[in-house]
Amino acid sequence: MRPFQYARPDGLDHATQLTAPADTMAIAGGTNLVDLMKLQVETPQELIDINRLTMGEIADTDDGGLRIGALATNTATAAHDRVRREYPVLARAILAGATQQLRNKATTGGNLCQRTRCYYFTNIDQPCNKRDPGSGCGAIKGIARLHAILGTSPQCIATYPGDMAVAMAALDAKVEITAEGDKGRTVPVRDFHRLPGDKPEKDNVLEAGEIITGVTLPGPVEGKQIYRKVRERSSYAFALVSVAAVVAMKDGRISRADLAFGGIAHKPWYDPRLSELLVGEAPSAALFDKAADLLLEDAQGYGENDFKIPLARRTLAATLANATGVEL
């Protein structure tokens, strides 16, 4: 761990000033950042501890939705009464991630910003364009078991590792961001994370000096909510593939199909074409196949992760079958 300065801001505005310079980073739960600092994957000169800012509230919004403060812990969010009743896909996604001890510390904002688990990213003696732009990608020709099959670039095939954000993408949640001088903006979770392109070092759209203050969920919708995470062991493992689904039926036809995927791309993967294809149709194995064809049209494996293409197909089919009551 490199020596670093530590500062505690007086308020949110102060926090945005302190985090504006390069080489500063905000720290909340620290469940990812501290590990990466020990490995010197992250080497901030100054840490801005935002834990004492009052951003932990979970509250109803005027339009019937729910606002989850950036510092609300994963445990608190997953246990919140309205989350459990009205947004169960979010509660289940959070509980599918990490361990109880980690969820007690991990926060909403921090979880959105967690970094990839690519083996080459976390090993500073290996090339990685995300950690060290221009150094190359060790994973493309290496062990790509955890890696992406959609939206990759020749620079980077890393995945976003989280679960919470996948559910939030299905729910079409919005990320509230503030910057110095009260310059705020709101970004849909679906657009918050980026594809790697030729700037894999940038995971998401957050700029220096910007701080996530909360995430807003729209009012609850009808339908069945499912979070399905495929992994080797039943806890404390990142998703090989995950699906968050909010699916409703009306008169034997699908009336809503909001689907997001984890473990297959640099961001929670949301493809609006799936909803267009599925809504208005009667559910069937053939329809689910068509949806998978569309989802995986441009999918590309890198050897070790080739299995994710059939796995995503089968997991999607199983999830849709479960949501619509079709027997496969």
* Region of residue 209 (left: phi > 0; alpha: psi -120 to 50; beta: else): left
CB of 281 to another protein, least distance (A): 21
Q: Which residues contact 241 (CB under 8 A, 6 or more apart)?
A: 230, 261, 262, 263, 264, 308, 311, 312, 315
Q: Looking at beta carbons only, is 85 or 141 nearer to another protein? A: 141
Contacts with another protein, residue ranges (CB under 8 A): 1-3, 38-40, 117, 119-120, 123-126, 138, 141-143, 145, 230-238, 240-241, 307, 310-311, 314-315, 317-318, 322, 328
Select 2 or 63, whichever has its Cβ closest to another protein. Answer: 2
Q: Of the two residues 157 and 189, which places its CB atom closer to another protein in the complex?
A: 157
**Minimum distance from residue 198 beta carbon to another protein (Å):** 23
Smallest gap from residue 240 Cβ to another protein (A) = 6
In the complex, least distance from residue 136 CB atom to another protein, rounded to whole angstroms: 11
What is the closest distance, in whole angstroms, from the C-beta atom of residue 235 to another protein in the complex?
5
* Closer of 194 and 290 to another protein (Cβ): 290
147 versus 256: smaller Cβ distance to another protein: 147
> Which C-beta is closer to another protein: that of 81 or that of 125?
125
CB of 210 to another protein, least distance (A): 29
CB of 27 vs another protein, minimal distance in Å: 17
**Of 125 and 182, CB closest to another protein:** 125
Half-sphere exposure of 246 (CA within 13 A, CB side): 21
The least distance separating another protein from the CB of residue 109, rounded to whole angstroms, comes to 22
Nearest to another protein of 119, 192 (CB atom): 119
